[in-house]
């Protein structure tokens, strides 16, 4: 089928900015070529601007996406990180320059016919999954390139790849994703996802294209919408955002937020 809706119009995955090392470390995102935007959310760069005097732990929060990433000084060492149902922390060196490619939910399996479930909750060497992409990265990138030059090279590669494949859009899967995104993850999986297939079939579709179950994906979407709201500590207490987002109570909200983010809401949004 032809693509009936664009996930990007409904979902913009957020990763936290680098606060504690603001002057020494930067994180930035740039959109890919417009023809790739329904599939790739962004290219990103995480780099130091001076040698760090203390260890740097980079926290990646749950966002429902699959990322390819590599260090510009060692592009031959490239990796892929699958859908993660909780936060992940990476201890980094005193200097680094990482480049990443963030694929929107379901789009990496669409582009490469790879079972997302096989990548879930871990990162592996890209060569074990997509040797041709791994070789391309190893041979075409170096520290001398800025992010714009890197974007141009990645755009060219992925546009060429896109032109040579046929995508398999399953109406049932994308109807379910559409419901979840429009409801901001606040749904009853059994009652609200009536897309013409059994819950077992739908689960299989989600596991292949997303990497986990409809329930887990919905929880990540709900969490991401809270990040997008950027609530202050005060508003979290006064407005009871956790009720609006479908949580039973504040304790449930805090527990799930910490599971996906790694710290409590008050610490994440503290002003």
Q: What tens digit of pLDDT does each residue of 86-113 get?
A: 999 999 999 999 999 999 999 999 999 9
Determine, yes or no, domain membership for 72: yes
Determine, yes or no, domain membership for 153: yes
The total of structural domains in the chain comes to: 2
Structure confidence at residue 45 as a pLDDT band (50, 70, 90): very high
Structure confidence at residue 193 as a pLDDT band (50, 70, 90): confident
| 20 and 117 together in one domain | yes
| 134 and 188 together in one domain | no
Decide: residue 90, CB within 10 A, 0-12 exposed, 13-18 middle, 19+ buried. Answer: middle
Q: Of the candidates 111, 131, 163, which is a domain's last residue? A: 163
Q: What is the mean pLDDT of residues 185-209?
A: 90
Determine, yes or no, domain membership for 2: no
103 to 156, 237, 243: CA distances (angstroms): 16, 34, 31
Tell me the residue range of the domain where 197 lies: 171-268
pLDDT digits (tens, 9 = 90+) for 238-267: 666 677 777 878 888 889 999 999 998 888
pLDDT digits (tens, 9 = 90+) for 124-179: 999 999 999 999 999 999 999 999 999 999 999 999 999 999 998 898 999 999 99
Q: What is the pLDDT of residue 7?
A: 94
The per-residue pLDDT of the chain, averaged, comes to 91
Does residue 21 have a pLDDT over 80? no
| 20 and 133 together in one domain | yes
Q: What is the pLDDT of residue 2?
A: 46
Q: Of the candidates 111, 134, 163, which is a domain's last residue? A: 163
Within a 10 A sphere around the Cβ of 52, how many other Cβ atoms? 16
| 142 and 190 together in one domain | no
CATH number at residue 200: 1.10.10.60
CB 110 within 8 A of CB 168: yes
CB 220 within 8 A of CB 180: no
Structure confidence at residue 17 as a pLDDT band (50, 70, 90): confident
| 83 and 175 together in one domain | no
| 33 and 144 together in one domain | yes
Structure confidence at residue 237 as a pLDDT band (50, 70, 90): low
Angle between helices 214-229 and 199-209 (to 10 degrees): 60
| 145 and 239 together in one domain | no
Q: What is the pLDDT of residue 5?
A: 67
Q: What is the pLDDT of residue 18?
A: 72
CB 80 within 8 A of CB 120: no
| 68 and 150 together in one domain | yes
Determine, yes or no, domain membership for 1: no
Structure confidence at residue 68 as a pLDDT band (50, 70, 90): very high
Q: What is the mean pLDDT of residues 17-35?
A: 86
Of residues 70 and 17, more confidently modeled: 70
Structure confidence at residue 1 as a pLDDT band (50, 70, 90): very low
């Amino acid at each position: 089928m032809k693509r009936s809706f664009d996930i990007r119009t409904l979902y913009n995955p957020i990763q936290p900015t680098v606060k504690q090392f603001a002057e020494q470390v930067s994180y930035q995102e740039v959109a890919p070529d417009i023809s790739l935007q329904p599939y790739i959310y962004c290219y990103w760069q995480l780099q130091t601007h001076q040698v760090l005097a203390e260890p740097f732990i980079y926290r990646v929060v749950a966002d429902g996406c699959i990322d390819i990433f590599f260090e510009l000084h060692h592009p031959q060492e490239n990796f892929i990180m699958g859908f993660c149902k909780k936060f992940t922390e990476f201890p980094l060196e005193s200097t680094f320059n990482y480049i990443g490619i963030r694929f929107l939910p379901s789009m990496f399996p669409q582009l490469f016919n790879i079972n997302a479930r096989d990548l879930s909750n871990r990162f592996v060497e890209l060569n074990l999954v997509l040797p041709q992409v791994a070789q391309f990265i190893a041979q075409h990138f170096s520290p001398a390139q800025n992010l714009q030059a890197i974007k141009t090279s990645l755009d060219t590669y992925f546009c060429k790849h896109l032109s040579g494949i046929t995508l398999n859009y399953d109406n049932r899967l994308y109807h379910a994703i559409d419901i979840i995104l429009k409801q901001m993850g606040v749904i009853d999986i059994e009652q609200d996802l009536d897309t013409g297939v059994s819950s077992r079939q739908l689960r299989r579709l989600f596991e292949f294209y997303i990497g986990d179950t409809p329930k887990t994906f919905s929880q990540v979407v709900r969490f991401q919408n809270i990040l997008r709201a950027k609530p202050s500590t005060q508003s979290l207490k006064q407005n009871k955002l956790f009720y609006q987002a479908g949580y039973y109570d504040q304790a449930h909200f805090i527990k799930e937020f910490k599971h996906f983010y790694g710290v409590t809401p008050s610490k994440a949004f503290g002003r």
